[in-house]
């Protein structure tokens, strides 16, 4: 998600100097005529929404639609460009009970800390009018729900998710004698990440040395880890990544792509990685739904119909966010109604159609905007069908408060050394563990 938010903050975001979280919304002061001050509108309630980056709700026109349906409501959004700056402020404001927007966004890597430590300061949205638990993916609903020991309230409603596929270059596959039809490509590695590695060796055997199969070993590791129910923490909240075979297995498998000459040795979301999409520097990349637009942008017009997308070996998720309603807000009932409406299946389908954010509400998958969605750039790929299938198979994952810290160090300290510097998998692992221990001890 760190990488995802880099993408989401590249354009259309207000200058950082003006981006301060709004205080609890105040109704407009009456003017001398008995109406409201300019901008408020007589009798209107102003609800503030605090987000990070180009979150998409405003850009998709959802606020305007809600205000048109609810003339007594006025919505104002504030955005801080990067979640790294937004989230610490959110924690501070929750701690003091002031300076909060009526509705606040929370990124998936922060939701475990929010549910574990801040649930008592948030409205139980599972009981809000119009919210139907059955309409949402079980694993996404679970992520926004506090532990039983903390009351078990569902304080976060999911806005979107990042189910993953494998994006691939059809022309490079054809040149290496591999199938290009997306169903046949998906069958190469169906059900097993090790088969993805085998496909990489088959590709290299025909394509030759120097022809990378994947963009980076770190990208592979993240995708494999994302398909595991237990990763860095266990159900008791204990850090277990060192002893969890799923994490070490993902690390070693990804390292095999590096040692086997299958990786382009690029670091994701850097200029050289961006150029790799246009230059054909690699044949495949693990891609969540939101990355398709990024690939189209970086590969440019010349990449149209060369890129396609197939099912990943196992369902995996990378990304997603939530909306929460602080109890300290002045209009909590109206704010809860707004949060429920913004995350309802119909609105999530619109957000996907206009912004590419894949719905976390499974009830949206049957709606035409999702079920019939195709991506012209990717050869008309039925992306609604592909990513819905992936989303429904993602396991209920245990998320811990420092997931992002652990994942970043495994990738940037550990795997990057293996991929770019030729260190052994054990050396890379040891370096990552040392960095993680230091970070968690602070």
CA 131 remoteness from chain centre:
22
Distances (CA, A) of 59 to 55, 117, 168: 8, 31, 30
pTM of the model: 0.86
Task: Give the per-residue pLDDT at 132.
Answer: 95
C-alpha dihedral (190, 349, 357, 184), degrees to nearest 10: 20
Backbone torsions φ then ψ of 434, nearest 5 degrees:
-60, -45
Helix crossing, 245-259 with 425-441: angle to 10°? 130
Tokens encoding 376? 């012209």
Max Cα-Cα span within the chain: 81
Q: What is the mean pLDDT of residues 45-63?
A: 96
Distances (CA, A) of 38 to 33, 35, 73, 76, 440: 12, 9, 15, 14, 49
What gap in Å lies between CA 250 and CA 261, rounded to an integer? Answer: 17
Task: Give the per-residue pLDDT at 22.
Answer: 34
CA 152 remoteness from chain centre:
24
Residue 88 has pLDDT above 60, yes or no: yes
3-state percent helix, strand, coil for the chain, nearest multiple of 5: 50, 15, 35
Question: Which H or E run includes 106?
Answer: strand 103-107
Task: Give the per-residue pLDDT at 42.
Answer: 53
Distances (CA, A) of 78 to 66, 101, 127, 289: 17, 8, 26, 26
What gap in Å lies between CA 437 and CA 410, rounded to an integer? Answer: 12
Q: Which residue, 279, 1, 292, is CA-closest to 167?
A: 292
Count of alpha carbons within 13 angstroms of residue 168, beta-carbon side: 28
CA 63 remoteness from chain centre:
22
Percent of the chain with pLDDT over 90: 84
More confident residue, 14 or 251: 251
Task: Give the per-residue pLDDT at 267.
Answer: 94
**Report for 2-6, 217-221, 398-402: range of highest mean pLDDT:** 217-221
């Amino acid at each position: 998600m760190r990488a995802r938010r880099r993408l989401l903050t590249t354009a259309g975001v207000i200058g950082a100097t003006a981006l301060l979280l709004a205080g609890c919304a105040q109704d407009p002061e009456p003017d001398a005529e008995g109406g409201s001050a300019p901008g408020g509108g007589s009798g209107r309630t102003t609800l503030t929404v605090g987000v990070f980056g180009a979150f998409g709700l405003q850009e998709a026109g959802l606020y305007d639609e809600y205000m048109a349906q609810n003339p007594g409501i006025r919505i104002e959004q504030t955005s801080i460009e990067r979640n790294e700056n937004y989230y610490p402020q959110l924690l501070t404001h929750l701690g003091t009970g002031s300076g909060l927007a009526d509705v606040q966004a929370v990124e998936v890597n922060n939701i475990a800390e929010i549910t574990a430590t801040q649930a008592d300061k948030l409205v139980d949205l599972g009981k809000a009018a119009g919210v139907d638990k059955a309409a949402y993916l079980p694993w996404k609903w679970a992520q926004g729900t506090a532990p039983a020991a903390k009351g078990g309230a569902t304080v976060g409603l999911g806005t979107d998710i990042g189910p993953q596929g494998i994006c691939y270059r059809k022309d490079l596959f054809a040149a290496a004698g591999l199938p290009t039809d997306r169903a046949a490509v998906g069958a190469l590695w169906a059900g097993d990440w090790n088969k993805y590695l085998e496909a990489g060796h088959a590709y290299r055997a025909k394509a030759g040395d120097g022809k990378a199969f994947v963009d980076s070993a770190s990208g592979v590791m993240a995708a494999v880890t994302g398909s595991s129910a237990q990763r860095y923490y266990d159900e008791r909240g204990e850090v277990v990544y060192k002893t969890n075979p799923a994490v070490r297995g993902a690390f070693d498998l990804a390292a095999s792509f590096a040692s086997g000459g299958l990786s382009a040795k690029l670091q994701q979301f850097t200029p050289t990685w961006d150029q790799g999409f246009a230059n054909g520097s690699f044949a495949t990349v693990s891609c969540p739904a939101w990355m398709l637009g990024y690939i189209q942008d970086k590969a440019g017009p010349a990449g149209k119909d060369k890129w396609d997308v197939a099912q990943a070996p196992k369902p995996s998720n990378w990304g997603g966010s939530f909306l929460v309603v602080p109890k300290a807000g002045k209009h909590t009932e109206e704010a809860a109604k707004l949060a429920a409406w913004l995350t309802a299946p119909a609105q999530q389908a619109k957000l996907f159609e206009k912004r590419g954010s894949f719905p976390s509400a499974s009830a949206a998958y049957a709606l035409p905007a999702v079920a019939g969605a195709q991506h012209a750039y990717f050869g008309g790929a039925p992306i609604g069908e592909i990513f819905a299938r992936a989303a429904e198979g993602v396991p209920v994952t245990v998320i811990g408060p420092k997931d992002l810290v652990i994942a970043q160090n495994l990738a940037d300290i550990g795997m990057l050394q293996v991929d770019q510097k030729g260190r052994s998998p054990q050396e890379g692992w040891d370096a990552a563990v040392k960095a993680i221990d230091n970070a968690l001890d602070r």
